[in-house]
Structure 1
Amino acid sequence: MSSQPEIDVHEELAGAAVTPLHKALGVLITLITLFDGYDTFNPAYVIHYVMQPWGLAPSQAGLLVSSGLVGFLFGAMGHGMVADRFGRRSTLLAGLWIVNVLTLLTALLATDFLSFCALRFLTGLGLGVLLPLGTTYINELAPQRLSNRFSLWGVTLGWSLGGVAAGLVGVFLTPQYGWQILYFVGALSIPLTLVVHAVLPESPKFLAAHGRIDELRSLLSRLRPERRAVYQSGAFRVAGKSARQNTIAALLAPRYRRVSLTIWVTAFLSLFAIFGLTGWIPTVMLKRGETFAASFGFGALMQATSFFGGLALAMLADRGFASTPRLLGGWWAVGGLAVGALVFVNGHGFNLAIVAIAGFCIIGAQHVLNNFTANSYETGFRASGVGMELGVGRVGAILGPYVIGLLQQATGGPEAVFWAIGGAAIVAALAIGSFMLQANTTEVGVAPAE
């Protein structure tokens, strides 16, 4: 009896050259996360227009940002179990349609505080799917030597560009068309969803884990056409059945407990700082004497520099997975110290420099943490692991804008804001830097047919 070639799906994907299909799927995920980032950050540019007409206190205004993040929390924490069971593709499409419909309804129906918050909560359910699942999908597809950089170009670039786009629409279009234009522009994701439905394949590792071998052979042949003949004659040993067990319990089992808890604490503090700062930066900078255009532009600047900060960190992290926690800690520490410096110095040039550093370090580190999380779990728990990281982190994101609003209401000035945000980033640095995390990854295996 002749033996058939042994094929390891993980090794095949990890050792692949970057093909046109890799690039096309990377661009598609970039566009998806662009709209995710755009819709996540645009409430910051609504606050200026509705505080007085709707009679909102600063703490209530913070809920305009936080309400969508509450929905994001439930979407992020719940989608992983769905995606691990029913597939990345169908779950991603469901999230896109939720965002499409609710974004358009926000522009048409949000006429007061309660209706806006309710619609943002429902939109957040879809937003909570797009970023973590996009991260999982691109991570499962990426060649190993380019893992972090591929994720940065495929996920972070889109999310950062979305944040920049929200700032640009806020600066240039809202004065003429009102805050609703932010959501009419966001509804342009509808044509993208039709394209995604037509061309996005299922994740190859999900196909392997669920025994969909014919689809797997076809997709691998497109990703590595030089090995098409091997895939047609080879036999795959399908693993991953553990994905059907209680995924939350698995993430807290002895194998992953230390990694999971450390990542969750760090994500909570990081996203508290990020959304506390991005949600209020236009309003706070107006109070510090900046012009309207400059104040709204700070948000776009922060998102732009976050991509380059994440890319620089990813290039360093790709040299050695074990060093990633210390690198992340360094990034958050520098960002936290920079934000704290705003307590003592105020000036346009200084404000620009600090906001750029905050985006580069604090948001840039969060982008790499997402990919680090994906690499820390086996395939069957990967979507759940990233979803839980971003879900727990979103508790911090929800509290960030609200707590910052309360601090402004209590103190009347921005100094306490900078202390809180800078302090959260520094504690995040200590949390991730104090642990030598060891990823336990067991990929889909293969064996010859018996």
Structure 2
Amino acid sequence: MAGATGGTNPIQVIDDNPMSFRQWVVIVLMILLNALDGFDVLSSAFAAPGISEEWGIPRSELGIVLSAELVGMGFGSLILGGVADKIGRKPAMLLCLVVMAVGMYMAHAATGVSELTIWRLITGLGIGGMLAATNAVTAETSNKKDRSLAMALYVIGYPLGGVIGGFAAQSWLLVDYDWRAVFLFGAIVTAVMIPLVMLLVPETPAFYAARRPEGALAKINKSLRALRQPEIAELPPVPETVAKPKVTDILSNPRLRPVTLLLAFGYMFHTLTFYFILKFAVQIVHDAGFTQPEAASTLTVANIGGAVGGAIFGFALKKWDIKGPTIAAAVLGSAAVAAFGMGSDTLWGWRIAAFLTMFFLNAAIVGYYAAFARGFPAYARATGTGFVLGVGRAGAAGSPIIAGFLFTALGNEQLLTVSIVMSLGAIIGAGLLWLLPMRDADADLGISTAEAAR
């Protein structure tokens, strides 16, 4: 754009103008980064049968290995999510990509369970921070009209990574090589994303508007130009009567506190159910008598279900509000997990059961992410999202550990009992989501639009 438009609010510029091709390029890259996260997380699940056979470990010990990156993701979301609100979304993403690439490469070279667990933990740190940053970029780069769709497409990137990685694992990596090749493949793809982010992703105008660094106006307009949006003439004024917002508001602000806690614990319980299938499906099907590539195909089909369910749900959110459909998807997902526990005599029976679990459970994840984008204002969006994801990872990390010990205590043949227990998390999460007050945080708190314009 040749000159400033006379406006003063870059967030409103993004909200009100049609999406440019350049904005969609950024959204596509965020989808790919989320897909990368999805593959990196599931790489240990694809490798699980090979790991357990090479080192002879039981399901209880395997559950700890499978949870390592999920524990790391929790800390990464809390620590590196806040970094994205301090130094910027783009630097945080680049930092996380380096951590992930190193962690994946070193995991492929591990010589024992403890070493592998440590490197998976480190990989998880990068994934957790990446999720918080990319979620914020997706929300802040899309306009108000298309934000729900953009968030839905972003979320289905996660199972899409599992689909692509699953096809690579079952048709190539686990056929021609061993489980270590899965981690090496992830390290290479992660490294490739670093220059793409450097070249194609600008810092978001919302970040500069919230943080007000030196030269904020020039930086905001540079970002707006990169996104092919009109520039602003001056910075929006900060009302004298309004205290400068702090990222700690997610817990101290009486309007944000209930949103933060209900989203955090609702998401935590939902991931308890979600990751049971993602982490143990391959091992369960392999133990039922199928080969490693055949068992891996079950997880691939499950992720196809997640991508399809997330896409359909994203379009549904353009017509309906977030809360009701998300609760319904979570309840149906819980029922599908319980049904998965009934088992099957055929590979396609396992595949269909896994497809249905992720179809509904990932649809609910889309709803949660849309709620993150709406529930937290721009100045604390990455911090709020990081906090929620960090708490949520307690459920994700606990899922394979709890399931592993249930299998050890009850016996591997008690799949139905274990599945019913693990399905309860999504039900509890749905109950907490029902209590959530759904507001647009930016408009409600008056940080970025109405209040700033006064």
TM superposition score normalised by structure 1: 0.90
User: What is the correspondence of 1:124-135 to structure 2 with a 5 Å cutoff?
Assistant: 124-135=124-135
- Paired position in structure 2 for 1:306: 306
**Partner SS for 1:437:** coil
Change (3 A) 1:288 1:294: same
Instruction: Give the superposition deviation at 1:304.
Output: 1.5
Q: Assess if the C-alpha contact under 8 Å between 1:85 and 1:244 holds in 2.
A: no
- Paired position in structure 2 for 1:214: 218
Change (3 A) 1:75 1:448: closer
Distance 1:354 1:420 in 2: 17
Distance 2:264 2:16 in 1: 31
User: What is the correspondence of 1:11-410 to structure 2 with a 5 Å cutoff?
Assistant: 11-108=12-109, 110-153=110-153, 155-172=154-171, 173-188=173-188, 189-211=190-212, 212-225=216-229, 227-228=230-231, 231=232, 234-237=233-236, 245=246, 247-248=247-248, 250-320=250-320, 323-344=321-342, 346-348=344-346, 349-410=348-409
Distance 1:394 1:242 in 2: 32
Q: Deviations along 1:124-183, whole A, 9 cap, x unmatched?
A: 111111122111111011111111211222x22432221112322331221321111111
Instruction: Give the superposition deviation at 1:314.
Output: 2.0
Q: Deviations along 1:74-127, whole A, 9 cap, x unmatched?
A: 11011232111111111111001111122112112x111000001111111111
**Partner SS for 1:46:** helix
Q: Assess if the C-alpha contact under 8 Å between 2:326 and 2:364 holds in 1.
A: yes
Distance 1:92 1:32 in 2: 9
Identity %: 22
Distance 1:115 1:342 in 2: 33
Letter in 2 for 1:41: L
Distance 2:394 2:43 in 1: 19
Q: Assess if the C-alpha contact under 8 Å between 1:277 and 1:421 holds in 2.
A: no
Q: Which runs of 5+ in 1 are unaligned?
A: none
Instruction: Give the superposition deviation at 1:343.
Output: 3.8
Distance 1:267 1:190 in 2: 30
Instruction: Give the superposition deviation at 1:345.
Output: 5.8
Q: Assess if the C-alpha contact under 8 Å between 1:89 and 1:200 holds in 2.
A: yes
Q: Assess if the C-alpha contact under 8 Å between 1:374 and 1:383 holds in 2.
A: no
Q: Assess if the C-alpha contact under 8 Å between 2:139 and 2:373 holds in 1.
A: yes
Letter in 2 for 1:143: N
Which consecutive aligned stretches of 4+ in structure 1 deviate over 6 angstroms post-superposition? 240-244, 446-450
User: What is the correspondence of 1:5-16 to structure 2 with a 5 Å cutoff?
Assistant: 5-16=6-17
Distance 2:273 2:59 in 1: 17
Q: Deviations along 1:386-438, whole A, 9 cap, x unmatched?
A: 10111001000110001111111112121222112222222222221244433
**Partner SS for 2:314:** helix
Q: Deviations along 1:346-371, whole A, 9 cap, x unmatched?
A: 34344333211111111221133123
**Partner SS for 2:111:** coil
Q: Assess if the C-alpha contact under 8 Å between 1:66 and 1:399 holds in 2.
A: yes
Distance 1:149 1:374 in 2: 12
Instruction: Give the superposition deviation at 1:344.
Output: 4.1
Provide the aligned length of Structure 1 versus Structure 2.
Answer: 437
Letter in 1 for 2:295: S
**Partner SS for 1:18:** coil
Q: Deviations along 1:291-334, whole A, 9 cap, x unmatched?
A: 543321111111122122122222222335xx311111100101
Instruction: Give the superposition deviation at 1:31.
Output: 2.2
Q: Assess if the C-alpha contact under 8 Å between 2:63 and 2:403 holds in 1.
A: yes
Change (3 A) 1:98 1:346: same
Distance 2:85 2:52 in 1: 42
Deviation larger for 214-223 or 323-332: 214-223
Distance 2:365 2:89 in 1: 22
Q: Assess if the C-alpha contact under 8 Å between 1:7 and 1:447 holds in 2.
A: no
Deviation larger for 20-29 or 433-442: 433-442
Instruction: Give the superposition deviation at 1:223.
Output: 3.0
Instruction: Give the superposition deviation at 1:62.
Output: 0.6
TM superposition score normalised by structure 2: 0.90
Deviation larger for 201-210 or 382-391: 201-210
Deviation larger for 375-384 or 435-444: 435-444
Q: Which runs of 5+ in 2 are unaligned?
A: none
Deviation larger for 36-45 or 336-345: 336-345
**Partner SS for 1:202:** coil
Distance 1:111 1:117 in 2: 11
Q: Assess if the C-alpha contact under 8 Å between 2:81 and 2:128 holds in 1.
A: no
Instruction: Give the superposition deviation at 1:210.
Output: 2.8
Q: Assess if the C-alpha contact under 8 Å between 1:328 and 1:433 holds in 2.
A: no
Q: Assess if the C-alpha contact under 8 Å between 1:238 and 1:444 holds in 2.
A: no
Q: Deviations along 1:52-90, whole A, 9 cap, x unmatched?
A: 332312111011111111111111011232111111111
Distance 1:190 1:401 in 2: 28
User: What is the correspondence of 1:426-441 to structure 2 with a 5 Å cutoff?
Assistant: 426-441=427-442
Q: Assess if the C-alpha contact under 8 Å between 2:26 and 2:201 holds in 1.
A: yes
Q: Deviations along 1:244-288, whole A, 9 cap, x unmatched?
A: 73x345335311122112111111111111112110001112334
Letter in 1 for 2:448: V
